[in-house]
Amino acid sequence: MSDLKAPIAVRCTPELVYNYAAGRYGSLFLQGLKEGRILASRCRRCARTLVPPRLACTGCFGAMEDAVELEPRGELLAFTLVAFPFLDPFTGIQRPIPYCYGMVRFAGADNTFQYFLSEKDPAKLRVGQPVRAVFRAAAERVGEMADLLYFEPGIGG
């Protein structure tokens, strides 16, 4: 009978670099961000407007073939404070904590859009507050989600 030995462990840190196609509608949205614009899709059948653009309408399941530009402003519908370490899914880098994350309805949209807020103190936020989308400087935009920096709370409302 042979002696049992501890298994040999091999340690490595694989680097997994990959690209994936954003698709027709995702590419439309990312191209819009690169241009500092918020693009949505509108349903010809029921007139629903959804952001980001998508193939099928969530209201009537019809094809969404029309792209429309929305104003880069909306209303804050909900928000939360994120205080635990978290990898930003768009960059793979840990975001500095704490930060606030919000659910925004763009003016003219029928759905909500969730993204980062510039405000880090939830006591300074309220449901119904107007917000505006803030983009990277034009020369720094590359056509990725991070081109949209955050939503900044506005005054009034």
Nearest distance from C-beta of residue 49 to Zn ion, angstroms: 10
Q: Applying CB under 5 A, which residues contact Zn ion? A: 43, 45-46, 48, 57, 59-60, 62
Compare residues 52 and 102 and give the one whose CB is closer to Zn ion: 52
Compare residues 44 and 124 and give the one whose CB is closer to Zn ion: 44
Compare residues 60 and 134 and give the one whose CB is closer to Zn ion: 60
Nearest distance from C-beta of residue 129 to Zn ion, angstroms: 29
| 3-state secondary structure at position 124 | helix
Residues in the chain: 157
Give the C-alpha separation, 142 to 115, whole Å.
Answer: 18
Compare residues 48 and 54 and give the one whose CB is closer to Zn ion: 48
Three-state SS string over 62-120 comes to CECCEEEEECCEEEEEEEEEECCCCECCCCCCECCCCEEEEEEEECCCCCCEEEEECCC
Nearest distance from C-beta of residue 32 to Zn ion, angstroms: 21
Give the C-alpha separation, 31 to 52, whole Å.
Answer: 12
Nearest distance from C-beta of residue 61 to Zn ion, angstroms: 7
